[in-house]
Structure 1
Amino acid sequence: MKSLLDLFLLILSFALTASAQFQFFEQMFSHGQQQQQPQNTGSDSAWYRQTYDNAYCDKYLCPGTLSCVHFPHHCPCAFSEVEDKVELGEGIAICASRGGWKAGEAARKIELARKGLL
């Protein structure tokens, strides 16, 4: 009876050892396949400068969106779903946050501010 128990314990220890080894190798080799956490973008502008330098545009390359347009004031807003583009005149345009205002309200407020009324 004692030898049967010893044999059972021996087989159980081999099984546990083999299982642990397979788990180790599974983790070791599947580590590269696991989804890695994204890393924060660097605080320097090297990525942007490289992307800007590699962008092809035979007209005007918008610095904020890297869009290729005919004139600087034709540049789109980077976040057009929450920004309104307001032309200030003489080919100058800015993008202003809508901030929950109704349509055209950002342009009206900017115009009031330009006149010193706001």
Structure 2
Amino acid sequence: MELRTFMFLFISFITFGVTHAQFGFFDQMFGGGGGGHHQQQQQNVRSDAQWYQSQYEGAHCDKYLCPGTLSCVHFPHHCPCAWETVEEKAELGEGISICASKGGYKEGETLKKIELARKGLL
């Protein structure tokens, strides 16, 4: 293939790519058709507590409704952690429990550290 032909093809491909990207941008920006699909606009969750309060008030539970997860359990200390894959639940006694980040420690290490802290040893 001759160098001129190669350069012509190369520049043609580059020009086509830039043109396609440019007009594709305008199609998205101004809702241009062609694709037949529309993007849904997503809205951020409100920054006040109104949404959460309405979810809490609308939840049905005849026992105890966990405020962090909206789970219905028999006792407050039975509430699950919201992010069980990255949190460990520690029961502190008298029906009180907390969820603490595992923080990369090995299994059970977070609970040991919490117990040491409760005893004033950490």
What do the CA deviations read for 1:26-58 (whole angstroms, capped 9, x no partner)?
x5899xx61223221111000000000000000
Q: Does residue 60 of structure 2 align to residue 56 of structure 1?
A: yes
For residue 98 of structure 2, give the secondary structure of its aligned residue in structure 1.
strand
Question: What is the Cα-based RMSD across aligned positions, in Å?
Answer: 1.9
Structure having the higher helix fraction is: 1
- Percent identical residues: 67
Aligned residue type for 2:73: V
Corresponding residue to 2:47 among 40, 43, 66 = 43
| Aligned CA distance change for structure 1 residues 111 and 55 (closer, same or farther; 3 Å) | same
Q: Does residue 105 of structure 2 align to residue 117 of structure 1?
A: no
Corresponding residue to 2:82 among 49, 73, 78 = 78
Distance 2:70 2:116 in 1: 30
| Consecutive aligned runs of 4 or more in structure 1 exceeding 2 Å deviation | 27-30
Structure 1 gap segments, 5+ residues each: 1-22
Structure 2 gap segments, 5+ residues each: 1-26
Corresponding residue to 1:98 among 85, 92, 102 = 102
TM-score (norm 1): 0.71
Distance 2:106 2:32 in 1: 56
Distance 2:72 2:33 in 1: 45
Larger radius of gyration: 1
